[in-house]
Amino acid sequence: MSFIPQLVKISACSLALMVSAIPAVSVASAALPEGPAGDAFYTPPPALPAGKRGSPLYARALEGTMRLPSAAKNTLLLYRSLDDKGRPTLVSGTVSIPRGQAPAGGWPVISWTHGATGLNEICAPSRDTDKGPEHPYIKAISHLLDNFVKNGYAVVATDYQGLGVADFHPFLQGRPNARNALDLLRAARTLEPRIGKRYAVMGHSQGGQADLFAAAQGPSYVPEFKLVGNVAFAPESQIAGRLRAVMASDKTERSLPHVLYVLQSYSKTDPSINLARILTPEAIAHLPDLHEQCMTHALTTGYWASAIAKDQFVSKPDLTKFLKLGARNEPGTLKISVPTLVVQGSADVTVLPGTTDLLTRQLCAKKNVLRYKVFAEAGHEGAMLSGQATALEWVDARFAGKAAINDCSALPAAARR
């Protein structure tokens, strides 16, 4: 079942006339067509213009929360990427450039992957304002990223497919979300050639999972860039375990809307996942509610804010195909060629500390070089706040070519015992 509005096709001739009518302006060092003001920016031509993945379509000056105050220039960009099935699509994102002169080789780059905000296109970080539906979370992201810009890093931040531009959002699907982040590297460098080719990826929650997938596939997907490391704050993992915990709960659960996001995402990508064999008719009838506004609305308003978790599932659900796709999206299966920093708060009630403890053991079993930093009493967003100094110091060391500490022989534990 899809709740995404279908785009109307137009002829190639009409599209050519439309694109040629957009004035070319210099938004940075490279001249690109200037995108429309306001939310019209996110309504692209109905037929996708030809072009390589990672090439920008148009841009304009960025407004709103993701406009990092320490940056010399903040730009909103619409660029080409690939969707969950590897087909061309358009994605929005932001590019923030430090002040001063770029170093030899260009600005070092942070490619940021954000956490769960929702399924509606209005939930994109680049669309946020001080009255936005997910403003407190996106404000916390902005604070973290501004510290990196202040310290000489260019920051590129994808919205992901389906957020910003109206489309299906492949929620908690590591490969398409990672491709969106990696393609933005190319688009940003076309926009601003002073951006260098050395980069780190960094993300939180859903974006922590996407970050790990981006680090695993980056060297082959964007081989002209040099990956030096990646940082995952409270990364999502253990997809099957989270589903089973919700299915067994006789309470309202903060994880319930999240699990339903994943079920819809995976069933859209793999139509053989039949939600009618997993969810009750009442639950299915209320799935469109999850596409209204964003994550905070789902957690606090309407049916899903008071629904008893286990009552949303049929007595003998068929999870075979879902679990197969879930296993493909587990970051603990990845082999990453560069050092990884994982940051977790011990008081996190969204990504439970024990799941990240298990993830770090899985990554170590794959012979990854891993630093695991636990912050006592830090919650889900608190991992970013408490861990930002550690992350900056660690990223600085990777760009400086220093050897990374490997905690795999003596991993700490975030879960309280």
Joined tokens for residue 390: 């550690």
Would residue 311 be called left, alpha or beta, if left means φ above 0 and alpha means ψ between -120 and 50 degrees? alpha
Task: Determine how β-strand 370-375 pairs with β-strand 340-345.
Answer: parallel
Enumerate residues 6+ apart whose C-beta is below 8 A from 143: 385
Instruction: Quick: pLDDT tens for 363-410.
Output: 999 999 999 999 999 999 999 999 999 999 999 999 999 999 999 999
Q: How many helices (H) and strands (E) does the chain have?
A: 12, 11
Q: Model confidence over 312-353: pLDDT tens digits? A: 999 999 999 999 999 999 999 999 999 999 999 999 999 999
H or E element in which residue 205 lies: none
User: What distance separates the 2 farthest-apart alpha carbons in the chain?
Assistant: 66
Tokens (6 digits) for 408: 């795999």
User: Residue 76 in contact with residue 62, Cβ under 8 Å?
Assistant: yes
User: Which pTM was predicted?
Assistant: 0.92
Taking CA atoms, 201 is separated from 10, 179, 258, 336, 341, in Å, by: 37, 12, 24, 12, 11
**Cβ 195 vs Cβ 388: under 8 Å:** no
Instruction: Give the model's pLDDT for residue 50.
Output: 86
Write out the two tokens for 405. Answer: 């500490």
Residue 72: which residues within 8 A CB-CB, separation 6 or more? 97, 98, 99, 100
- Whole-number pLDDT of residue 14: 33
Q: Any idea of the CA torsion for 181, 186, 188, 193, to the nearest 10 degrees?
A: 150
- The alpha carbon of residue 35 and the mean position of all alpha carbons in its chain are separated, in whole angstroms, by 23
Q: What is the pLDDT of residue 30?
A: 56
pLDDT for 31: 75
List 34's β-bridge partners, or say none. Answer: 59
Q: Which residue has the tokens 């770090």?
A: 360
Low-confidence ranges of the chain (pLDDT < 70): 1-30, 417
Beta pairing, strands 154-158 & 107-113: parallel
Which of 142, 144, 160 is closest to 62 using CA atoms?
142
The answer to whether the beta carbons of residues 148 and 93 sit under 8 Å apart is: no
Task: Give me the pLDDT at residue 45, please.
Answer: 86
Secondary structure element (H or E) that encloses residue 319, with its range: none
pLDDT score recorded for residue 7: 31
Q: Which amino acid is at 96?
A: S
User: Shortest CA distance to 227 belongs to which of 119, 340, 140?
Assistant: 340
Place of tokens 């920008």: 56
Helix (H, G, I), strand (E, B) or coil at 121: helix
Paired strand residues for 92: 78
Spatial CA neighbour of 375 closest among 395, 347, 397, 352 = 347
Residue 191: both structure tokens together: 């926009």
pLDDT of residue 80: 97
Count of C-beta atoms within a 10 Å radius of residue 64: 18
